[in-house]
Amino acid sequence: MIRAIRPGLWPAVVLLVVLAAMAAVPGLFTGADPDAADLNATFAPPGPDHWLGTDENGRDLWARIVHGARPSLLIGGGAVAVALLGGAVVGVTAAQLGGLADQALSRSLEVLLSVPWLLLVFLVVAVMGPGTFPAMVGLALVSLPGFARVVRAEVLRLRAAPFVEAARGFGWSRLQVTVRHVVPNALGPVLALATVTLGATIVAGSSLSFVGLGPQPPTAEWGAMLAASRRTLSVAWWPAAFPGVALTLAVLAITAVGQELQRRADGRHL
């Protein structure tokens, strides 16, 4: 794998590794407590003491960005993981059953697709209450149809492939063939879709925090940090700038790697 990374992709890969490390072990990057309010050091500009400055509560922005990596990435990541699993189940079921059941499932997916994504998430959050988990579930519902459709299409396509025909010739049942041969082969394009979706879902997750429906204070989350920074924009620019940069860089890196994965998946298939 590593050997095959294009030189242009290295920055993205490094960034991803750093972000993953931040999310996993934030203590590696900062010793400061992200929630420690210092009422004597509010709005300290970037400098030697706080190198990205402090926010309206005197909290160190670097520490908050580092600790914010986990919730910020978790909403999107969790949502995509749930959507992938759910989508795979729905997609395989639809392709497997065919006929009326397939039709019904497809229509249901279309219902999910037809409701504006933010409204869908908003309704879920309204039912479950704001927080990381409801946001995750809501966003998972948004991207589930995409996965289900790709999985269904892949299963149908692969089922017509010569090696699958051959397996059936050996007297394997349809389910056996699907599980043993079709699903593993469909994994490539689905994973590629997952990485591409991940970027957009992380942005969507931060949008949700931005309107106050994500993780609750004092959790450091990039979207929530940006929302809070708007109220004090006339006093300090840095709380409004750095979380946005972090978010953009993260999505940029994920998308770059995702596109590369997709290119490879396509290459393998064509």
Partner 1 sequence: MAGVLKTGPAGNGAPAGTGRAELVRLVLLRAGGSAAVLWGAVTATFVLLRVMPGNTADVLMARSTTASAETRAQLIADYRLDESVGAQYLAYLGKTARGDFGDSYVLRRPVTEVLATQLPHTLLLVAATLVVTVAGAVVLAVLSARAGRVARSVFAGVESLLVAVPPFWLGLVLLTLFSFTLPIFPAVGSSSLSGLVLPTLTLAAGPLALVSGVLREGMLRALHEPFVLTARTRGISETAVHVRHVLRHALLPATSLLGWIGGSLLGGAVIIEIVFSRPGVGRLLLTSVQNKDLPVVIAVVLLSALVFVVFTIIVDVITWLVDPRTREAA
Partner 2 sequence: MGASKAWRWGAAGAAAALALTAGCSAGGDGEGTTGAPREGGVLKLALEKEPECLDPHQTPTQSGRLLARPILDSLVYQDPKGTLHPWLAKSWAVSTDGLKYTFNLRDGVKFTDGSAFDADAVVANLDHVVDPKTKSLLAASLISAYDSAKAVDPKTVEVTLKKPDSGFLAAVATPNLGIHAPTTLKDDPAKLCSKIVGSGPFQSDGGFIQQQGITYTKNPDYAWSPEGAAHQGPARLDGIEVQIVPDDPSRSGALTSGQVDAVTALPPTSVKELRGNDAFKVHSVLYPGANHSYWPNTANGTLADVRVRKALRAGIDWKKIVQNVYFGVYEGAEGVLSKSTPGFDASVTPAYAYDPAAANALLDEAGWTARDGDGYRTKDGKRLKVRHMWSDPSVETLSVQIQAAAKEIGVEFVEENLDGGTFVDRLLKGDYEIIDTGFAAPGPDVLRVLFSKANIPTPDRGIANNMARYDNPVVEADFDAALRATDPAEQLKIYAKVQQQLTEDAAVLPIYTSTSSLTARSGVQGVAFHVDGSPNLTEIWLES
Q: Cβ closer to partner 2: 231 or 269? A: 231
Q: Cβ closer to partner 2: 34 or 199? A: 34
CA 23 to chain centre: 14
- Backbone CA torsion sign across 217, 221, 224, 225: positive
Binding to partner 1 by CB under 8 A, coded x per residue (else -) over 190-219, reads ---------x---x--xx--xx--------
130 binds, among partner 2, partner 1, none (CB under 5 to 8 A by kind): partner 2
110 binds, among partner 2, partner 1, none (CB under 5 to 8 A by kind): partner 1
Neighbouring C-alpha atoms within 13 Å toward the C-beta of 211: 13
Interface pick for partner 2 out of 133, 218, 249, 259 (rule CB under 8 A):
218
- The radius of gyration of the chain's CA atoms, rounded to the nearest angstrom, is 22
Burial of 45 (0-12, 13-18, 19+ CB in 10 A): exposed
Q: Cβ closer to partner 2: 42 or 93? A: 42
Return the axis-axis angle of helices 10-24 and 238-269, rounded to nearest 10°. 120
| CB contact at 8 A, 268 and 188 | yes
> Any idea of the CA torsion for 133, 139, 141, 145, to the nearest 10 degrees?
-150
**241 forms part of the interface with partner 2 (CB under 8 A):** no
Q: Cβ closer to partner 2: 101 or 233? A: 233
57 binds, among partner 2, partner 1, none (CB under 5 to 8 A by kind): partner 2
62 binds, among partner 1, partner 2, none (CB under 5 to 8 A by kind): none
Interface pick for partner 1 out of 137, 150, 257, 261 (rule CB under 8 A):
150
86 binds, among partner 1, partner 2, none (CB under 5 to 8 A by kind): none
Interface pick for partner 2 out of 96, 232, 255, 259 (rule CB under 8 A):
232
Nearest one of 16, 17, 31 to 67, comparing CA atoms: 31
Range 112-131, binding partner 1 (CB under 8 A):
113-119, 122-124, 126-127, 129
Select the span of 79-87, 123-131, 175-183, 251-259 touching partner 2 (CB under 8 A).
Answer: 123-131
Phi, then psi, of 244 in degrees rounded to 5: -65, -40
- Backbone CA torsion sign across 264, 109, 90, 255: positive
- In this structure, the number of other CB atoms found within 10 A of the CB of residue 57 comes to 18
| CB contact at 8 A, 205 and 76 | yes
Give the residues lining the site for partner 1 (CB under 8 A): 8, 106-108, 110-111, 113-119, 122-124, 126-127, 129, 146, 149-150, 152-153, 199, 203, 206-207, 210-211, 223, 226, 230, 233-234, 237, 240, 244, 247-249, 251-252, 255-256
